[in-house]
């Protein structure tokens, strides 16, 4: 496995690739969710293809300085895991090697990012789109793999690829969960023991709402109230950042469950912000 830190090194390493790579962009602090992405990348690439992983905590997508400062970093363990999983190349750039000091170009998506995390983390998706476009330009992958835990991000990156004609196929991987249902997330390690106990309440409440839909419930407002009630009982310390039922394609709020939709949630436990979602697709 090759580890490269700079763009010149990356461009040199790329010359040795027999095929265009399959890219897995991450911010490091790898866990089983990331490993599922890497497995998917290997499936796509095949045994002789090239799988590359980027580990980069992208400062320009953070709207909160202390969130950036406290973002977990486990570089040695990440590199060992990538090696074990048969990754061909890991890219761990310094911020200065990716961003010019006087940079003045930003990629902005203006529709799918208007709600949910886009509304509560201003500028976040401009940062995501910009760094992902850079990674696409640097690696020229044929495929790239993202997780459905970040549902809105996956939708926005698919739109970025469509609207800017990146010749790349975007693959989504189902959310990997702890045995108690909590979505794996690098930020989970920052939960206090008490908040870690409460956090599975998020997915439990989402599932309960999804079950109601299976039984015929069609009013998003009823479902959202049910989730809020459940959360207040199972996770009393959770502070909602948003909770919405949105059209799965447009990510705009809906009044009736009459098409593929997603319930998306973000909640704070102390200063740790977790996101999760559930797709309500089985009926449509």
Ligand X SMILES: Nc1ncnc2c1ncn2[C@@H]1O[C@H](COP(=O)(O)OP(=O)(O)OP(=O)(O)O)[C@@H](O)[C@H]1O
Ligand Y SMILES: CC(C)(CO)[C@@H](O)C(=O)[O-]
Annotated binding site: 27-34, 61, 147-150, 153, 176, 184-187
The DSSP 8-state label assigned to residue 145 in this structure reads: E
Q: Strand 239-247's sheet: what is its strand order?
A: 239-247, 261-269, 272-280
Judged by CB, which is closer to ligand X: 169, or 226? 169
Q: Among residues 27, 51, 168, 246, which is the contact residue for ligand X, using CB under 6 A? A: 27
Judged by CB, which is closer to ligand X: 138, or 183? 183
How far is the C-alpha of 277 from the C-alpha of 260, rounded, in Å?
Answer: 13
CB 175 within 8 A of CB 276: yes
Which residue positions form the known binding site for (R)-pantoate?
Answer: 61, 153
Give, in order, the Cα–Cα distances in Å from 204 to each of 8, 58, 160, 207, 237.
Answer: 47, 31, 32, 5, 15
**Considering the rule CB under 6 A, would residue 109 count as an interface residue with ligand BAL?**
no
CA-based torsion, 227, 229, 234, 235: positive or negative: positive
Judged by CB, which is closer to ligand Y: 170, or 231? 170
**Considering the rule CB under 6 A, would residue 61 count as an interface residue with ligand Y?**
yes
Judged by CB, which is closer to ligand BAL: 20, or 147? 147
Give, in order, the Cα–Cα distances in Å from 104 to each of 93, 98, 120, 130, 161.
Answer: 20, 13, 24, 11, 21
**Considering the rule CB under 6 A, would residue 276 count as an interface residue with ligand BAL?**
no
Q: Among residues 78, 88, 150, 276, which is the contact residue for ligand BAL, using CB under 6 A? A: 150
Known catalytic membership, residue 34: yes
Binding mask 54-93 for ligand BAL (x = CB under 6 A): -------x--------------------------------
Question: Nearest CA to 115 among 242, 271, 14?
Answer: 242
CA-based torsion, 123, 35, 203, 232: positive or negative: negative
Angle, nearest 10°, between helix axes 220-234 and 200-214? 150
What does 159 bind: ligand Y, ligand BAL, ligand X, none (CB cut-off 5 to 8 Å by kind)? none
Q: Give residues in contact with ligand X (CB under 6 A).
A: 26-27, 33-34, 36-37, 146-147, 149-150, 173, 175-176, 183-187
Which residues sit at the interface with ligand Y, rule CB under 6 A? 25-27, 58, 61, 128, 131-132, 150, 153
Residues annotated as catalytic are: 34
């Amino acid at each position: 496995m090759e580890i490269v830190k700079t763009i010149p090194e990356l461009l040199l390493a790329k010359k040795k690739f027999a095929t265009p790579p399959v890219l897995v962009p991450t911010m490091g602090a790898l866990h089983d969710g990331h490993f599922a992405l890497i497995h998917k990348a290997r499936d796509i690439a095949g045994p002789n293809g090239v799988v590359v992983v980027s580990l980069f905590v992208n400062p320009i997508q953070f709207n909160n300085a202390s969130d950036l400062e406290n973002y977990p970093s486990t570089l040695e363990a990440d590199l060992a895991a990538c090696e074990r999983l048969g990754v061909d190349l890991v890219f761990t750039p310094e911020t200065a090697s990716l961003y010019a000091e006087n940079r003045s170009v930003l990629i902005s998506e203006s529709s799918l990012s208007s709600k949910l995390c886009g509304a509560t983390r201003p500028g976040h998706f401009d940062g995501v789109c910009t760094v992902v476009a850079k990674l696409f330009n640097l690696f020229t992958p044929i495929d790239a793999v993202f997780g459905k835990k970040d549902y809105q991000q996956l939708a926005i990156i698919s739109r970025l690829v469509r609207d800017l004609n990146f010749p790349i196929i975007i693959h989504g991987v189902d959310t990997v969960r702890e045995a108690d249902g909590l979505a794996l997330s690098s930020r989970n390690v920052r939960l206090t023991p008490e908040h870690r106990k409460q956090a599975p309440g998020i997915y439990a409440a989402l599932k309960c709402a999804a079950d109601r839909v299976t039984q015929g419930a069609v009013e998003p407002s009823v479902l959202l109230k049910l989730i809020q009630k459940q959360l207040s009982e199972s996770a009393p310390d959770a502070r909602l950042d948003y909770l919405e039922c949105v059209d799965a394609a447009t990510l705009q709020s809906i009044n009736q469950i009459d098409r593929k939709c997603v319930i998306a949630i973000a909640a704070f436990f102390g200063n740790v912000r977790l996101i999760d979602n559930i797709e309500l697709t089985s009926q449509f």
